[in-house]
Each structure stands twice: as C-alpha cells, then as structure tokens.
Structure 1
Amino acid sequence: MFRIGAADEGEELLSRLGALTARARELARRQRSRVELAVALQRGMLPQTLPQPPGVRLAVRYSPANHGLNVGGDWYDAFSMPDGRVGLSIGDVQGHNIKAAAFMGQVRVALRALASVTGDPGELLARTNDLFVSLDADLFATCTFLRLDPASGVLECARAGHIPHIWATADGKSGIDNGDGGPPLGVLQGAEYPVACYRLTAGGVFVLLTDGVVEGPSLSLDDGLGQVKRLAEVTAAAGLGINALANGVMKLADTVGHEDDAAVLVVGHDGGMQ
C-alpha cells in the first residue's frame, strides 16, 4: 500500500538536501572570490619592476599562501634611493589573513617613504618601528633591509627579528649572517638595529628569504638555511647565475611541510662594477 506520509518525508528531505547543496556552492563561490581578491591584493602591493644598476643583478621569486583563506604577508622590495644606492627589503608580517596582507603593504610603503629621509639601514628600521608602535598596530613584522652601493659593491644590512641572509663568493666561500639584530617592527618603542657591512664581489651572491622557504614541520630552520647556503655556494662557484639560484631556493619551499608565503630575493654581481 502506498504511504503518503513517507513520500512527503522523502520529498522534504530531498528539498533540504538541495537547499544545503546550493548554500554550499554559494559559500564555495564566495570563498574563491575572497581568495582571488586577497592574492590580487598581495601581488598588487609588490614591485612591478626592479632597479637595474650597472653590474648588479636582482632575481625574485614569490609564492603566496592561498590555501582556503590562509593568506600571508610576506614581501620583497627593491628601489633606487636618492643618493644613487639601492634599497632592498624582505619581510614577513605576523598572521595569515587579509589583514596581514594589507599590513604588509603599509610596512613596505613606510620603508620606501622613510628611505627618503635616512638611508642608513639601522636608523631606517628604527624610524619605521617607532612609527608603527605609535600607531598602536596590533600586528608586527620581521624585516631585513639592505643598502647597496653599486659603485663599490658595499652592502649595509640591518635585521628586525628576521631570519639570517646567506652569502657566497665565486671562490667557493659562503656563510650565514648570524650577527645581532633588533626586535620585529611594531613591538618595542625606541628599539635599535645594528648595521653589518659586507662587500658584494664579482660572481658573488646574497640571498634574502622568508621563513616559509626554509622552515616547517618537515624541515628545521638550521637545516633549511644550511641547504640554501650549499645551493648558493655551488651556484656562485659554478657561475650558474642568480635565476638558477632563485629557482633552486624556491624548490626548497616544497619540502618544508606546510603552506605558507615564500619569498626569495637574490642579489648578484656580474663583474661590471669597478
């Protein structure tokens, strides 16, 4: 015998399932749109072109974290300074959301703006830090800032809580910068940032990166930095070029065991400087 009540219950269940499916599709569509917007926001805040001073070569690689809404705030930057030198920065904002991506843009713009007032890396980071502390921002950023003189190859470096950079020379020497740095930007009013000096020689390279490249559940920071150091040493000694090095370093990000922003900035010297 046909049961009217059972048929009605079945139709109601199907109707509810249909509504839930439609809602799930709409939520998925909105999430995709938000991810696309966040990624566009990130990429739009990064430099579209890089300086090309004589004898100096720059290579950058950037991979945003866009799993779900896991959007990070890593950045890189390179720009010409008023005195003819080149400013280089790389950094990482705390957090993994659209707010972190927006804060990344603020830090990058602040560094560029304050570089017109002072080019000294330590003073530049100190002024940027005090600015964000005074704004009472609830985020902070780690950062490395370099000032490069293309005429002499002299590099001046200051770090704000950021992971060390790596250097290698054409004669097979290499190292990891373990010098003192200051706290992250936006944490402590009046913080100081020591400056270290290096010289970029013919065939040599400097590698700046964010922790998403070298640290994660499957790779410790020390091991990751060690692998980049070996890559830089081999690349510089063999004269393979900065693009090959940047590609090799970015492949390392696939082994860290998590999805995070990954940024690499390689500075090289092709022998054109006097």
Structure 2
Amino acid sequence: MSRTASTDDGDELLARLEALTAQARAQAESQRSRVELAVALQRGMLPPGLPAVRGVRLAVRYAPAYQGLNVGGDWYDAFPMPDGRLGLSIGDVQGHNVEAAAFMGQVRVGLRALASVTGEPGELLAMTNDLLLSLGSDLFATCTFMRFDPADGTIESARAGHLPCVWATADGRSGVTRDEGGPPLGIQPASAYPVTRRRLDAGSLFVMLTDGVVEGPSMQLDEGLDHVVRLAGTAAAARLDADALAAAVIKGAAQVGHDDDAAVLVIAHDGPDARP
C-alpha cells in the first residue's frame, strides 16, 4: 500500500469522526434544550406561593426530576375559593417529557377555572375530566382535590386514581385515608368521583403527596406511606411546624430509588381562634 493511500484513508477516518462528533454534540444540545424547556414549563405553571389563611398553616416541597428527558408533570396547588373556603389539589400526569409538563399546566389551570363554577370536589373532578377528554390528548392524570373550611375544620375530598393522603391528630394518632375514588382524569367519559367528608380538629394535619415520594424500585407504596404516617404522627403530637414536616417527608423521596418527580403539600389546622 502506498503512503498516499494510507494518508487518504486516515483523512477520511478523521472526517467521519468529526462528523459523528458534531452529530452527537447537536443531539446533546437538542436534548438539553428540551429539558430546559420542560423545567421552565414546570416552574411557570406551578403557583408562585401559598395563600395565607387564618388558622391554617400550609407548607410545600417539590422536587422535579431532571435526569435526561425524565421531566414529569407532578403538581400541587392551593387557592381561596369564591365561597371563602380553601381549594387544595395535588396530582401526577402520566409520562416524563415536555408534553407531560405542558399537560400538567392544563390540568392545574383547568381545576382552578372550574372551581369558580362548582366547588363540590366530585363535580369539579368530573368537569375537569370532561374538559381534558375534549382536548383529545393521549395523556391522563391522577389527582386529589380537597375543599377545606378553616372555620370549622371540614374537609371534603375526591380522588381520581391518586394515592391516598396521610392524616394525624394532636394526640399523635395517624393513618392513611381509604376514600373511595374514581378513575384518572382524561380516560373515561362521564366518570363519577365520590366525595368523602371529615373534620380536622385543632392541632390536626393532612399530608397530600405524589407517588415519587413514597414508591419506587427501592420502596413499596405501603412502606413509603407508613414512613410518612410515622412522621406525621410525631409532628402533630410535638406541634412541629408544617414546613418542618414537609421537609422531612420530601427527604424520604431519596430512598425510593428512582428519579421521578416528588411533591408534598401539608395542611395544618390550628383552629379559627389561632393568631394569624
């Protein structure tokens, strides 16, 4: 083989390597741009803050997943309703991509908008379900919505395929809600969502969460919920701050063994006579 032929082969190999490197760099840049877009969607579509309500302490923790394109659509929300009560929602969109993050915003905004039409949780979820079906998306979402009256501690809740909540009382009792629920939002037309009513006494609290906090390859759902139940019982008995409980619960998300989104919303009821 001549020296010229060998040089030509080497130049061709270098050219191919350069082309492959440029292609890989372009793909990595495209992937990073999609992740940045999804993260911006998540941040822009979540509420900027929590409402201040006399006799209620709210706290939230949210840990979005940033691994590769694994950016999901978990959300939380808390807002005053037209009748003076407090609307609270938490949920999880199927999928982990830009589309899931965008769909999350549609669900959260839809719930808020329809809450001005009806505050009854079962009706609200049914209307939101019909709205999402009308959009024609292939995505769906699980969700829990609560209507809370700070004056008397009454909670009305409905569940759309979402995992249960955790409760705790001032004497240290705690457990998991076992409410009947309906299917996830955006799957089945004319779905019904039963409503459960309960009352929070002064010193009691509720913990709403998504499955990224309590379930994964390294932790079964029941095990994760039991951990939150213990934390909530201790926090209620010791009158710990709601923010401290939310921080402790989200810390446990690191033990579930995956990189899913994780959201926690704590509602602590101090009673209507509590100081602002």
Task: Call closer, same or farther: CA 1:135–1:23 in 2, change over 3 Å.
Answer: closer
Q: CA deviation at 1:188?
A: 1.7
Q: What is the CA–CA distance in structure 2 between the aligned matches of 1:257 and 1:97, rounded to whole Å?
A: 20
1:184-195 aligned within 5 A: 184-195=184-195
1:72-83 aligned within 5 A: 72-83=72-83
1:147-169 deviations in whole A, cap 9, x for unaligned?
A: 01111111111101100000001
1:128-147 aligned within 5 A: 128-147=128-147
Q: Is contact 1:74-1:93 (8 Å) kept?
A: yes
Percent pairwise identity: 69
* DSSP 3-state at the match of 2:52: coil
- Gapped regions of structure 2 (runs ≥ 5): none
| 2:167 matches 1:167 | yes
Q: What is the CA–CA distance in structure 2 between the aligned matches of 1:175 and 1:156, rounded to whole Å?
A: 17
Q: CA deviation at 1:271?
A: 4.3
Equivalent residues, number: 274
The residue number in structure 2 matching 1:106 is: 106
Q: Is contact 1:150-1:273 (8 Å) kept?
A: no
The residue number in structure 1 matching 2:116 is: 116
| 2:182 matches 1:215 | no
The residue number in structure 2 matching 1:270 is: 270
Q: CA deviation at 1:2?
A: 7.3
CA RMSD of aligned residues (A): 1.5
Q: What is the CA–CA distance in structure 2 between the aligned matches of 1:30 and 1:167, rounded to whole Å?
A: 44
Q: What is the CA–CA distance in structure 2 between the aligned matches of 1:187 and 1:3, rounded to whole Å?
A: 68
After superposing on structure 2, the runs of 4+ consecutive aligned residues of structure 1 that deviate more than 6 Å are: none
1:178-215 deviations in whole A, cap 9, x for unaligned?
A: 12111111122221111111222222210000111111
Q: What is the CA–CA distance in structure 1 between the aligned matches of 2:250 and 2:179, rounded to whole Å?
A: 24
Q: Is contact 1:94-1:100 (8 Å) kept?
A: yes
Q: Is contact 2:242-2:266 (8 Å) kept?
A: yes
Q: Which amino acid aligns with 2:139?
A: L
Q: Which amino acid aligns with 2:134?
A: S
* DSSP 3-state at the match of 1:10: helix
The residue number in structure 1 matching 2:157 is: 157
- Gapped regions of structure 1 (runs ≥ 5): none
Q: Is contact 1:151-1:273 (8 Å) kept?
A: no
Q: What is the CA–CA distance in structure 2 between the aligned matches of 1:125 and 1:42, rounded to whole Å?
A: 22
The residue number in structure 1 matching 2:41 is: 41
Deviates more, 1:81-90 or 1:30-39: 30-39
1:238-253 aligned within 5 A: 238-253=238-253
TM-score (norm 2): 0.95
Q: CA deviation at 1:33?
A: 1.6
Q: Is contact 1:153-1:273 (8 Å) kept?
A: no
1:27-76 deviations in whole A, cap 9, x for unaligned?
A: 21222121111100011000002111101011111111221111211110
* DSSP 3-state at the match of 1:131: helix
